[in-house]
Amino acid sequence: MNKKILLGLIIFSLYTGISYGANRIVVLNADAIKILVALGATDRIVGMADKKPKLLPSLLKDVPEVGSLGSPNIEAIVKLEPDVVIAYDSWPSQDFLEDKLLPFGIKVLRIACYKINSFTEDIKILGNLVGKEKRAQEFIEFFQKYLGLILERTKGIKKKLKVYLEYQDYSTVSGGSGGDELLKIVGLENIASEFKIPFPKVSPEWVLAKNPDVIIKVPRLGVKEVNEDIFKELINRPGWKELKAVKEGKVHLVSYYEIWAGPKAIIGALYLAKWCYPDAFLDINPEAIHKELAKKFYHEDLKGVYVWP
């Protein structure tokens, strides 16, 4: 086992008293939910934050809601008597969560699950937590197979394409964020990497001045699928017809919930690689790999539109 993974498991076990076989889990981390579903541990989830039926597997439709990620309902969590609460590494703050739950003897596991560089560790930790080590290893091998392929085929690229990555309108990502890590994996340059805050708001003039080679829009706020209307609204912004990315047809939409954040981000990475460096990925069909992942780990047929065009 990787030393970093082992250390994380030891620290969590010592801190919480839980190292294996948690049976009642409240999940405030939407990306951890995707991993737990892939591991076949949905029966362990007894509560979750921010239920959005259109964004969740049908297996979770009856799971009770325990408030929002930013403002969890402590009373509702306590009533569910969980073995552990899984939260993001940084959200919500300790005073919102640990300080209120630990008096009730409820343990908190903080884990990212949204950064591509830590997926292997995250999947391993959750696999051990729910006693699904074999399934976790299968998921890790699938992920690493395509991660290795991307890294191998992009390592020799000398001139990296410059990318403007956007979530909400004119909200981008700085260096060290999950989105920035994904761009680097694919051999791309984030034009906003030097900002010091995680999700800087930029001006239209800033984007026009940077004139990126590629534009990637990742809609959030409850949007699971992407469509032509979102695309047209994007490319028809004032002045954008003059951008290099728009002129050369290198503007793309990617579904945040389905293939950008969390363990399915490897699919988003494959699409990026195919769009940006097509000659190096002629034999790769990201949609087919997405279908394989959906069938093998989520037991569902792929339905919906998750990239545009």
pLDDT the model gives residue 35: 94
Can you read off the two tokens belonging to residue 125? Answer: 């930790």
Query: Domain 141-308 belongs to what architecture?
Result: 3-Layer(aba) Sandwich (3.40)
Kindly state the average pLDDT of the residues 232-240. 96
Residue with the bigger pLDDT between 128 and 8: it is 128
Burial class (CB in 10 A: 0-12, 13-18, 19+), 222: exposed
What whole-number distance in Å separates Cα of residue 222 and Cα of residue 257?
8
Q: Give 5's pLDDT tier (boundaries 50, 70, 90).
A: very low
Q: Is the peptide bond before 82 cis (omega within 30 degrees of 0)?
A: no
| CA triple 243-185-111, angle to 5 deg | 115
Q: Order of strands across the sheet with 189-190?
A: 189-190, 162-166, 214-217, 251-254, 307-308
Question: Fold for domain 3-133?
Answer: Rossmann fold (3.40.50)
| CA triple 285-288-294, angle to 5 deg | 140
Integer CA distances (angstroms), 280 to 72, 267, 276, in order: 45, 16, 9
- Is the pLDDT reported for residue 277 higher than 50? yes
Q: Give 210's pLDDT tier (boundaries 50, 70, 90).
A: very high
SS3 111: coil
Strand partners, 107: 84
**Per-domain residue ranges of the chain:** 3-133, 141-308
Kindly state the average pLDDT of the residues 215-233. 88
- Is the pLDDT reported for residue 244 higher than 80? yes
What are 30-73's pLDDT values in tens digits? 899 999 999 999 999 999 987 664 556 667 888 989 988 878 99
pLDDT the model gives residue 57: 66
- Computed over every residue of the chain, the mean pLDDT equals 88
Helix (H) or strand (E) holding 27: strand 25-27
- Check for a shared fold between 3-133 and 141-308: yes
Least confident segment among 61-70, 182-191, 284-293:
61-70
Strands 107-110 and 84-87: parallel
Q: What global pTM score does this model have?
A: 0.87
- Is the pLDDT reported for residue 11 higher than 70? no
Q: Is the peptide bond before 278 cis (omega within 30 degrees of 0)?
A: no
User: Residue 162: which of 207, 199, 203, 226 has the closest Cα?
Assistant: 207
Instruction: Return the HEC string of 259-301.
Output: HCCCCCHHHHHHHHHHHHCHHHHCCCCHHHHHHHHHHHHHCCC
Burial call 7-41: b when 16+ CB within 10 Å, e when fewer: ebbeebeeebeeeeebeebbbbbbbbbbbbbbbeb
Please give the radius of gyration of the chain, using alpha carbons only, rounded to the nearest integer: 20
pLDDT the model gives residue 128: 94
Can you read off the two tokens belonging to residue 23? Answer: 């049976």
